[in-house]
Amino acid sequence: MLCLTFEISENKYAVEAQEVMEVVPPVNLTAMAKAPDYFSGRFNYRGVIVPVIDLRSLMMGFPSKILLSTRIIIVNYYVDDKIHLLGLLCERVMDIIRIKEEDLQTPGYVTEETSYLGKLINLRTGIVQLVTIHDLLPAFVRKNLFVELDNA
């Protein structure tokens, strides 16, 4: 499988490339009122309003630094059999790697809050952990994030 790798603090992660729509530079984001701290805001991506979550804030509890390598990874996010776009703010987007299924190892310890963290692969450059896009957000956030509002 092909995966896009990125770093958060000193840790390396990857998402399946088939879920990635595009990688874009940081843009000005509109704040989301009363949203959890890990929501950076939203922006207009080719006519679609896309919410952006800060992966460093979600995983580590403090916001991403804006570096030259900081990017927003736009991914497909499935909710109730509908595809939505979700932006993932990452400090260092690295490159695309090929991972063999048989080389993946279980992570050992995963909590309910980190159920999005998947299997590990040990590369020469260090350990990379897969991130499951669907499980990034808690069920109550996932349910309400893309709600269609009636204009009645």
CATH number for position 113: 2.40.50.180
**What confidence score (pLDDT) does residue 50 get?**
94
Three-state DSSP at 71 gives: strand
Please report whether residue 124 resides in a domain.
Answer: yes
Among residues 67, 68, 92, 73, the alpha carbon closest in space to that of 10 is found at: 92
Residue 150 has pLDDT above 60, yes or no: no
**What confidence score (pLDDT) does residue 152 get?**
40
Average pLDDT value for residue range 82-106: 89
Q: Running DSSP on this structure, what letter comes out for residue 69?
A: T
Residue 113: which domain range?
2-145
Residue 151 has pLDDT above 60, yes or no: no
**DSSP assignment of 78-129:** EETTEEEEEEEEESEEEEEEE--GGG-B--S---GGGTTEEEEEEETTEEEE
Please report whether residue 152 resides in a domain.
Answer: no
**What confidence score (pLDDT) does residue 33 get?**
85
C-alpha 78/C-alpha 37 separation (Å) is 22
C-alpha 68/C-alpha 6 separation (Å) is 13
Domain count, the chain: 1
Among residues 129, 134, 139, 137, the alpha carbon closest in space to that of 109 is found at: 129
Between strands 92-98 and 71-79, the pairing is unpaired
Residue 18 has pLDDT above 90, yes or no: yes
Average pLDDT value for residue range 76-103: 89
Please report whether residue 89 resides in a domain.
Answer: yes
Residue 134 has pLDDT above 50, yes or no: yes
**What confidence score (pLDDT) does residue 82 get?**
85
Please report whether residue 151 resides in a domain.
Answer: no
* Phi, psi torsion values for 86, nearest 5 degrees: -135, 135
Residue 57 has pLDDT above 90, yes or no: yes
Please report whether residue 53 resides in a domain.
Answer: yes
**What confidence score (pLDDT) does residue 148 get?**
58
User: Would the CA dihedral through 36, 39, 44, 49 be positive or negative?
Assistant: negative
Average pLDDT value for residue range 4-28: 92
**What confidence score (pLDDT) does residue 149 get?**
43
pTM: 0.88
Please report whether residue 150 resides in a domain.
Answer: no
